[in-house]
């Protein structure tokens, strides 16, 4: 007991020093902390939504749109294959998870089936009387599409929010098709909602100039074409466009998009640039269709349909559409972040004012200071010199908690402050057990060193058991809880780990140092 190995002493002091280094930036303002040298820790505790204020959004991914798009693509593939083989058909369309087509000549059924069946392995194909062929999406394919759509949506949402400069956002999946978004410190939630509400699916299509617009407006849209509204409401511009369904170039191949101004009209525009594959495809389309209008479609609306004057081989272009400067900036942000696989619907929205968070922080600080003061006074009065050593360990325990929260960038919430206050009371439990055991050993006639050694040795099992059971509870709270409950669990778990370290190792080091220095013959505790 009287001896502690040097490596243990160095380890204890190193942990305390690291905790202090990571905790110090929280005593500085943000500007000063960011200005610290790179080799010094500069991260501050990340405040949760309830402390910092901001926006809370619960989004739903419209997975049905992804499935409908896949079935629409399947229908187009079936139409193409049947037309190539000159097989007459009727009733081609989709509904739910099923696509259907009726073959007019039953003699062509076997050939049609052989063409349709291998189109996509995520579907099952069956035939029935009357020449009907049914193609059904499998449950496994539906599940995979749902998982992929939600995961991709989370990534795109994260990119879009990161582009706005929001610090420490929380973006997590909830349930099968929902996304929880918490944005601390957001002062313009409406802009965030507009950015998240847009799918930002950019595609380029040729305009159908052969079909009659009046026929399409009457409801008879020719196969292979779509009637889309114009995004512009300016006089003299068409209200609707008849475009070909085939996507000539997709926005998926964009690698950059930046806001700018047109040199001739000085109007805000968005300049875009494709990757090598997209540039090659874009160049080929413009070479083959000089003199034809080329529609730029964003989220089902035609932004513009300029005529291709000459081949564009550089892989870059410009989108103009009577934008404001802010709209051009937001559109370029959306295109850089990428398109959502499906629309997002806001199911729940809450805003927390920074004033409420400031009040909570002030109340939490006051509760922590009062709790700390009461515990420090109690330990000093009840255990004397040993109580003061426990108080030193308690203060270091708080420093370690703050340092750990800063290093891990775990969000501190109001329940998290409650966890810290609870930890202040729990942190001295181990010392109380040890000191009471030492008292018993002194009463039983042991020497000072023997009593201290026995007190630590016999109390350690109880301390570990008590803290491990509480740690298990904290882990379960984090695993099955959400939001504030997780914040409480995080601070509680960190507090348990740091209190065990300070109570068992740091206090022990202080006691041993005192024993070596004073060599007392009697002990008052």
Tell me the sheet residues that pair with 350: 56
Report residue 396's pLDDT band, with 50, 70 and 90 as the boundaries: very high
| Cβ pair 21, 403 in contact under 8 A | yes
Rounded distance, CA 165 to CA 142, Å?
Answer: 35
Residue 207 and residue 333 share a domain = yes
Domain assignment present for residue 468? The answer is: yes
Residue 367 and residue 309 share a domain = no
DSSP 8-class letter at 262: -
Residue pointed to by tokens 């070909």: 244
**CATH of residue 416:** 1.20.1640.10
Domain assignment present for residue 156? The answer is: no
Domain assignment present for residue 286? The answer is: yes
Residue 55 tokens, joined: 């926006």
Whether residue 332 is predicted with pLDDT greater than 80 in this model: the reply is: yes
Q: What angle do CA 162, 168, 174 make, to 5 degrees?
A: 85
Chain mean pLDDT for the chain? 84
Residue 133 and residue 261 share a domain = no
Tell me the sheet residues that pair with 46: 411
Whether residue 236 is predicted with pLDDT greater than 70 in this model: the reply is: no
DSSP 8-class letter at 84: H
What order do you get walking across the sheet with 344-352 strand by strand? 170-174, 178-184, 54-61, 344-352
- Name the most confidently modeled range: 165-169, 228-232, 348-352: 228-232
> What is the pLDDT averaged over residues 124-140?
88
Rounded distance, CA 56 to CA 160, Å?
Answer: 16
* pLDDT tens profile 5-41: 888 889 999 999 999 998 888 887 777 777 777 777 8
What was the pLDDT predicted at 237?
A: 63
Rounded distance, CA 400 to CA 502, Å?
Answer: 9
Whether residue 149 is predicted with pLDDT greater than 60 in this model: the reply is: yes
Residue 479 and residue 413 share a domain = yes
Residue 384 and residue 506 share a domain = yes
Report residue 472's pLDDT band, with 50, 70 and 90 as the boundaries: very high
Rounded distance, CA 220 to CA 216, Å?
Answer: 5
Kindly list the distances between the CA atom of residue 481 and the CA atoms of 453, 470, 486, in Å, as whole numbers in the listed order: 41, 16, 6
What was the pLDDT predicted at 245?
A: 86
| pTM for the full predicted model | 0.61
Domain assignment present for residue 160? The answer is: no
pLDDT, greater one: 385 or 239: 385
Phi, psi of 96 (to 5 degrees): 65, -120
Q: Which of 285, 317, 349 is the last residue of a domain?
A: 349
Whether residue 482 is predicted with pLDDT greater than 70 in this model: the reply is: no
Residue 439 and residue 364 share a domain = yes
**CATH of residue 104:** 3.30.1360.100
What was the pLDDT predicted at 364?
A: 75
* Count of CB atoms situated within 10 Å of the CB of 287: 13
Domain assignment present for residue 444? The answer is: yes
Phi, psi of 464 (to 5 degrees): -65, -45
DSSP, collapsed to helix, strand or coil, labels residue 342 as coil
Q: What angle do CA 120, 126, 130 make, to 5 degrees?
A: 130
What was the pLDDT predicted at 185?
A: 74
Q: Which of 125, 142, 159 is the last residue of a domain?
A: 142
Domain assignment present for residue 191? The answer is: no
Residue 502 and residue 364 share a domain = yes
Domain assignment present for residue 101? The answer is: yes
> What is the pLDDT averaged over residues 219-236?
79
Domain assignment present for residue 493? The answer is: yes
| 378-387 own/partner pairs: CB under 8 Å, 24+ apart | 379/428, 379/431, 383/431, 383/435, 383/525, 384/524, 384/525, 385/514, 385/524, 385/525, 386/431, 386/435, 386/438, 386/511, 386/525, 387/435
Q: Which domain holds residue 490?
A: 6-53+354-518
Residue 383 and residue 398 share a domain = yes
> What is the pLDDT averaged over residues 201-219?
86
Residue 432 and residue 409 share a domain = yes
The total number of structural domains that make up the chain: 3
Q: Mean pLDDT check: name the lowest of 6-20, 248-262, 358-372.
A: 358-372
Residues in the chain, total: 525
Residue 36 and residue 84 share a domain = no
Q: What percent of the chain has pLDDT over 70?
A: 95
Q: Kindly report the three-state secondary structure assignment for every residue of 101-157.
A: EEECCHHHHHHHHHHHCCCCCCEEEEEECCCEEEEEECHHHHHHHHHHHHHHHHHHH
pLDDT, greater one: 164 or 466: 466
**CATH of residue 262:** 3.30.1360.200
Q: Which of 349, 376, 392 is the last residue of a domain?
A: 349
* The CA-based dihedral angle spanning residues 326, 331, 336, 337, taken in that order and rounded to the nearest 10 degrees: 100
Residue 391 and residue 374 share a domain = yes
Residue 394 and residue 333 share a domain = no
């Amino acid at each position: 007991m009287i001896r502690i190995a040097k490596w243990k002493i160095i380890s204890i002091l190193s942990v305390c020093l690291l905790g202090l280094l990571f905790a110090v930036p929280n005593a500085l303002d943000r500007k000063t902390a960011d200005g610290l040298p790179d080799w010094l820790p500069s991260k501050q505790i990340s405040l949760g939504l309830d402390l910092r204020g901001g926006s809370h959004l619960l989004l739903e991914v419209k997975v049905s749109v992804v499935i409908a798009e896949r079935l629409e693509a399947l229908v187009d593939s079936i139409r193409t294959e049947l037309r190539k083989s000159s097989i007459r058909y009727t009733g081609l369309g989709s509904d739910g998870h099923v696509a259907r087509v009726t073959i007019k000549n039953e003699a062509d059924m076997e050939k049609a089936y052989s063409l349709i069946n291998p189109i996509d392995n995520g579907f099952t194909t069956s035939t029935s009387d009357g020449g009907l062929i049914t193609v059904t999406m499998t449950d496994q394919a539906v599940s995979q599409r749902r998982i992929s759509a939600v995961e991709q949506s989370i990534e795109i949402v994260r990119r879009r929010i990161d582009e706005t400069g929001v610090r420490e956002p929380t973006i997590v999946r909830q349930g099968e098709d929902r996304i929880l978004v918490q944005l601390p410190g957001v002062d313009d939630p409406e802009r965030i909602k507009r950015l998240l509400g847009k799918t930002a699916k950019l595609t380029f299509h040729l305009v159908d100039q052969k079909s009659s617009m009046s026929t399409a407006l009457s409801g008879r849209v020719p196969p292979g074409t779509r009637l889309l509204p114009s995004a512009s409401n300016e006089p003299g511009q068409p209200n609707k466009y008849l475009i070909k369904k085939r996507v000539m170039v997709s926005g998926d191949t964009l690698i950059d998009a930046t806001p700018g101004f047109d040199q001739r009209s000085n109007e805000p525009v968005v300049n875009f640039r494709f990757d090598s594959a997209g540039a090659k495809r874009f160049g080929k389309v413009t070479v083959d269709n000089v003199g034809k209008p080329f529609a730029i479609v964003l989220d089902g609306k035609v932004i513009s349909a300029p005529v291709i004057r000459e081949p564009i081989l550089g892989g870059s272009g410009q989108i103009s559409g009577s934008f404001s400067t802010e709209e051009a900036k937001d559109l370029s942000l959306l295109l850089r972040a990428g398109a959502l696989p499906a629309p997002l619907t806001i199911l729940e929205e809450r805003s927390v004012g920074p004033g409420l968070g400031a009040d909570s922080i002030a109340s939490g600080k006051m509760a922590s200071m009062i709790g700390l003061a009461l515990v420090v006074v109690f330990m000093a009065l009840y255990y004397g010199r040993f109580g003061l050593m426990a108080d030193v360990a308690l203060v270091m325990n708080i420093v370690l908690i703050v340092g750990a929260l800063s290093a891990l960038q775990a969000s501190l919430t109001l329940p998290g402050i409650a966890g810290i206050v609870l930890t202040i009371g729990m942190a001295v439990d181990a010392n109380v057990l040890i000191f009471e055991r030492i008292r018993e050993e002194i009463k039983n006639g042991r020497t000072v060193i023997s009593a201290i050694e026995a007190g630590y040795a016999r109390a350690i099992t109880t301390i570990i058991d008590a803290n491990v059971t509480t740690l298990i509870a904290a882990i379960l709270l984090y695993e099955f809880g959400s939001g504030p409950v997780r914040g409480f669990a995080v601070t509680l778990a960190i507090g348990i780990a740091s209190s065990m370290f300070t109570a068992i190792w740091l206090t022990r080091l202080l006691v041993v140092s005192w024993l070596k220095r004073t060599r007392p013959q009697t002990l008052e505790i």
